[in-house]
Amino acid sequence: MKKIALTGDRPTGKLHLGHYVGSIQNRVKLQGETDQAFYMVADVQALTDNASNPEKVRENVLEVALDNLACGIDPEKTIMFVQSQVPAIAELTVFFLNLVTIQRLGQNPTIKAEIAQKGWNANVDQKEDLNKPGVPAGFYCYPVSQAADILFCKSTVVPAGEDQKPMIEQCNEIVDSFNRLYGETFSRVSHVSGSTARLVGIDGGAKMSKSLGNAIYLSDSKEIIKDKVMQMYTDPNHIRVEDPGSVARNVVFSYLDIFDPNQNEVAELKAQYEKGGLGDVKIKQRLIEVLETIIAPIRTRREELAKDPERVMQILRDGTRKAQEIGEETMRQVREAIKINYF
Where on the chain is the footprint of ligand TRP (CB under 6 A)?
6-10, 42, 45, 146, 149-150, 158, 160, 164
Q: Using the minimum distance from each CB to ligand TRP, give the nearer residue, 173 or 274.
A: 173
Cα dihedral 193, 194, 197, 198 in deg (nearest 10)? -120
The burial of 205, by beta-carbon neighbours within 10 Å (0-12 exposed, 13-18 middle, 19 or more buried), is given as: middle
Q: How far is the CB of 142 from ligand TRP (least distance, A)?
A: 7
Q: How far is the CB of 66 from ligand TRP (least distance, A)?
A: 17
Residue 162 or 203 with smaller CB distance to ligand TRP: 162
Select 26 or 234, whichever has its Cβ closest to ligand TRP: 26
Q: Which is nearer to ligand TRP, 132 or 198 (CB)?
A: 198
How many whole angstroms separate alpha carbon 259 and alpha carbon 18?
12
- Between 26 and 146, whose beta carbon lies closer to ligand TRP? 146
- Smallest gap from residue 150 Cβ to ligand TRP (A): 5
Please identify, using beta-carbon distances, which residue of 75 and 143 lies nearer to ligand TRP: 143
Q: How many CB atoms lie within 10 A of CB 57?
A: 21
Residue nearest to ligand TRP (CB): 42
Q: Which is nearer to ligand TRP, 199 or 266 (CB)?
A: 199
Contact criterion met (CB below 8 Å) for 163 and 25: no
Sheet holding 36-41, edge to edge: 78-82, 36-41, 4-9, 157-159, 190-192
Let me know if 243 is exposed, middle or buried by CB neighbors in 10 A (0-12, 13-18, 19+): middle
- Shortest CB 19 distance to ligand TRP, Å: 8
Minimum Å distance from CB 296 to ligand TRP? 25
Least distance (Å) between residue 159 CB and ligand TRP: 8
In the complex, the smallest distance separating the C-beta of residue 216 from ligand TRP, rounded to whole angstroms, is 17
Under a CB-based contact definition with an 8 Å cutoff, are residues 234 and 280 in contact?
yes
First vs last Cα of the chain: how many Å apart? Answer: 31
Pick 192 or 258: Cβ nearer ligand TRP = 192
Distance CA 205, CA 71 (A): 25
296: Cα separation from own chain's centroid: 21
Size (the chain), residues: 343
Give min distance, CB of 44 to ligand TRP, in A.
9
Residues 6+ apart with CB under 8 A from 161: 18, 19, 22, 23, 193, 194, 198
The nearer residue to ligand TRP, 26 or 219, going by C-beta atoms, is 26
CB of 50 to ligand TRP, least distance (A): 12
Helix ranges (DSSP H) in the chain: 17-19, 25-30, 43-47, 54-71, 87-97, 102-106, 109-118, 137-140, 142-151, 165-182, 222-231, 251-259, 263-275, 280-306, 309-338
